[in-house]
Structure 1
C-alpha cells in the first residue's frame, strides 16, 4: 500500500508537470526546468512501478533459510576430486566474505587429498536464496597435476544445495545428543511456515537407525580409538548420513541430525512445490561432463555460466571467492524476469 500511495502521488506530480509544460511553452527557461523535472518524475515512476511489481511476485519461502552444501567429484577420477576440493574451498571463501558461518560437516578425501565428497552447513542472511543457483554440474578444463604430457582434461563436479529445516529446539537437541546409541526415544515434529502450504517433517525413533564406528585419521596420536563416527539411516527412505568430522560422538550425532533434517525437508518441499523446486537427484544430474551449468577453463582464464551466457575472465579471483555474485545476480534477475512474465500472462 505504501508503494501504491507513492505511485499515485508520483503520477499526480507528473500530470501537474505536463500541464506546466503546456502552459509555459513561450518561457524557455521555465520550459527547460519543467521538462527536466518531468523526465526525472517519469523515471521515478518507473522505479516505483518496478518495486510494486516485485512486491506482488511469489516468494520462495526457503530463500531466507540456511543451507546444506554438498560437493561430489563426478567424471574425471583424481582430477575431479581435486577440483571438488577447489570448488568447496571457493564456496568457503565466498561465505567468509559474505560474513556467513561456514561449518564443515564431512569430507571424504581421495588418494591425492582431493575431495570425493564434502558437505558443509552454511548459515546467514538469505543464504539459500543466493546459493541455490549453484546446484548442478560444474565442469573444469585444465591440465591435471597427474598429466605428464601437458594435455588438457575435462572433469566434472556436482553441487547440491539443500535448504535447512527449522532448527531443532535447543532442549530437544541437547536431549538427543546425550542419548546413548541404543536408547533413542525422540519424536520431532518440525512445522515449517510456507505461504502456500505447511511442510511437516517427522523423525520418529522407529524410523532411525544409528550405527557408530571408528573414524579414519592420520594415525599416531590422531588415531581415533573410540566409536565416535556416526552413520544415521532414515529407514523409510533409505537415506543415510555419515559424519566423522568431530571427535565427539554426540557432536557427530548432532551434525548428522541436522543434515538428515535438511534432506527430508527438501524432499517434502519438492513434493509439495514441484513447479518451484526440483528433487535433489535432479539438481546434481548424473555427474557427466555433458551436463553442466558452468565451465571453468583454466588455460583461457575464464568462467562461463551457460544458463545466462555470461563469461568472467578472472578465474583466479573467482576461485578465491570473488565475483561469484556476477553470476548469482544475473540468475536472480533472470528468475525475476521469468516470474514477471508468468505473472503478467496470468493477469
Structure 2
C-alpha cells in the first residue's frame, strides 16, 4: 500500500491524505482542522515502505532552489577563472581553491542536473517532432519518464546539500538513561530501553561500549551510560533524547494493575580533545572503592573515579571498569561530551528559538514517546506515529520507523527556514 503525507512547512505537521492510514503496523494520527495545509510551500512524500521516502518538491521550493543553484554556478565559474589567472596572489589562489573544494560536490550535482534537464527538453521536442510515429513517441515517452524521475532525485540531493547542517551529526555519541518516576518499575524499564539501544547499535554495525551502570534492588538500572561509535551516530540518535513513558504491569504488581513510569534519555555528541580542552587546574579528581553486587563483583581497590570540573561544577563518576586508568579515561570522555553539549546549547539558544532540550525532570508529563505493553503499541507524540510492533522495537528492529519520521520533520523545519530566508 502506498500512502502520501502532505507536510505543512509552516506548522511542521504531517497530514495523511487518507484518515487512519495503517501500513505495516504503523498508523498516523488523524489531522485536526488547524493542521490543514494552507501554505504554498508544500512537500509531498510518497513511500511504499518506511525508509524509502521519495520527496516531491513543490514548484515554489524548486524556484527558490534554482536561485541558489544559479548563484553557485556563477560563484564556481568566478572562482575557477580566478585560480586560472597568473596574476592571482598566493593568498587569493589558496582562498579560491579552498572555496572551490567546498562547492565541488554541489557543482558536480548541478552539472548532472543540467545535463538531465537538457535530455528532458530534447525528449519533449522529439515527441513533438515525431508525433506521427507511434513507436518513436512511445520510446521517447518511456525515456522521458525515466529522465524526469532522475531529475527529481538530483533535485532532492541538491536540496539536502543546501540545507543547514549540524556538524555534530557525524560524531559518535554518549547515551545516558536514567530511571524517572515509577520506582523499581522505572529502573526495570530503564534497563529495557538501554538494551534496546544496544541491540539497535548492533543492528547498525555500531560499537556499543558500556560506560557506567548503577543497578537497583531488582537489578534494573537506576542510571546507565554508554559510548556509541559508528557512521553518523549522533545524527541518527539525537531524536531519542527526552522522556520515554511506559505503561505495563510491573513484575512487583500482585493485583495485575497497569502502572505508568518514566525514563529519561540523553544523547550527547562526543567531543574531541581539540573541541574541549580540559586543564589540569580546572579538574578535581577523586578515587574511591566502587560499589557492586558483592561476591566476585566486590572491589577492594580505589578504582572508581570521580571528576569535578571546577569552573562549571559538573561532576562525572565512573566505576564500571576494574582499572582506575580506564575509569578515568571514560570519565574524561563523558565530561568532554557534557561540556561540548553545554556550549552547543548556549550557542543554539542565541541563534534559534529551537533551543536544544535534554532529559527534563523525569516527570511523566514531559513524554516524547509512550510504550503501551498491554496494547502492544508505541506512540511518538512529536510526529503522531504509532507502531503496533512493540516487541520488534524493543529488540532494536523497528526503531527506524520513528527515527525516519523525526528526520523528515527536521528536514521540513530546515526547508521552511530555507524558503523563508528568500
Q: If the length of structure 2 is used for normalisation, what is the TM-score?
A: 0.72
Partner of 1:195: none
Partner of 1:324: 399
Partner of 1:285: 360
Task: State the Cα distance separating 1:278 from its structure 2 match.
Answer: 4.3
Distance in structure 1 (CA, Å) of the matches to 2:177 and 2:155: 40
1:254 aligns with 2:360: no
Deviations 1:211-261 (CA, angstroms, capped at 9, x unpaired): 111111232343211111111111111111111101111111111111001
Matches within 5 A, 1:91-102: 91-102=197-208
Matches within 5 A, 1:65-80: 65-80=171-186
1:209 aligns with 2:284: yes
Task: State the Cα distance separating 1:334 from its structure 2 match.
Answer: 1.6
Which of 97, 107, 119 is the equivalent residue of 1:13? Answer: 119
1:306 aligns with 2:412: no
1:142 aligns with 2:248: yes
Task: State the Cα distance separating 1:54 from its structure 2 match.
Answer: 0.9
Matches within 5 A, 1:331-342: 331-342=406-417
Distance in structure 1 (CA, Å) of the matches to 2:129 and 2:327: 77
Distance in structure 1 (CA, Å) of the matches to 2:297 and 2:348: 46
What secondary structure sits across from 2:131 in the alignment? Answer: coil
Partner of 1:111: 217
Partner of 2:147: 41
Distance in structure 1 (CA, Å) of the matches to 2:233 and 2:124: 46
Which of 277, 301, 307 is the equivalent residue of 1:232? Answer: 307
What secondary structure sits across from 1:218 in the alignment? Answer: coil
What secondary structure sits across from 1:202 in the alignment? Answer: coil
Distance in structure 2 (CA, Å) of the matches to 1:219 and 1:313: 41
Distance in structure 1 (CA, Å) of the matches to 2:298 and 2:260: 36
- Tell me whether 153-162 or 43-52 shows the greater mean CA deviation: 43-52
What secondary structure sits across from 1:287 in the alignment? Answer: coil
- Tell me whether 37-46 or 150-159 shows the greater mean CA deviation: 37-46
Distance in structure 2 (CA, Å) of the matches to 1:39 and 1:249: 64
Runs of 4+ in structure 1 off by over 4 angstroms are 275-279
Q: Structure 2 unaligned runs (5+)? A: 1-106
Distance in structure 2 (CA, Å) of the matches to 1:75 and 1:332: 29
May I ask how many residue pairs the two structures share in their alignment? 314
Deviations 1:291-311 (CA, angstroms, capped at 9, x unpaired): 111111100111111111211
Deviations 1:148-207 (CA, angstroms, capped at 9, x unpaired): 1111111110100000001x4xxxxxxxxxxxxxxxxxxxxx2x4xxxxxxxx2312221
Task: State the Cα distance separating 1:272 from its structure 2 match.
Answer: 2.1
Distance in structure 2 (CA, Å) of the matches to 1:218 and 1:19: 78
Deviations 1:257-316 (CA, angstroms, capped at 9, x unpaired): 11001111111122223346745xx31111111111111110011111111121111111
Q: If the length of structure 1 is used for normalisation, what is the TM-score?
A: 0.87
What secondary structure sits across from 2:362 in the alignment? Answer: coil
1:60 aligns with 2:135: no
Partner of 2:51: none
Q: What is the root-mean-square deviation of aligned Cα atoms in Å? A: 1.4
Q: Structure 1 unaligned runs (5+)? A: 169-189, 193-200
Distance in structure 1 (CA, Å) of the matches to 2:156 and 2:295: 63
Label 1:320 to 1:149 Cα distance change in 2 as closer, same or farther (>3 A): same
Which of 218, 229, 238 is the equivalent residue of 1:132? Answer: 238
Deviations 1:130-157 (CA, angstroms, capped at 9, x unpaired): 1101000101010011111111111110
What secondary structure sits across from 1:227 in the alignment? Answer: coil
Distance in structure 2 (CA, Å) of the matches to 1:211 and 1:332: 41
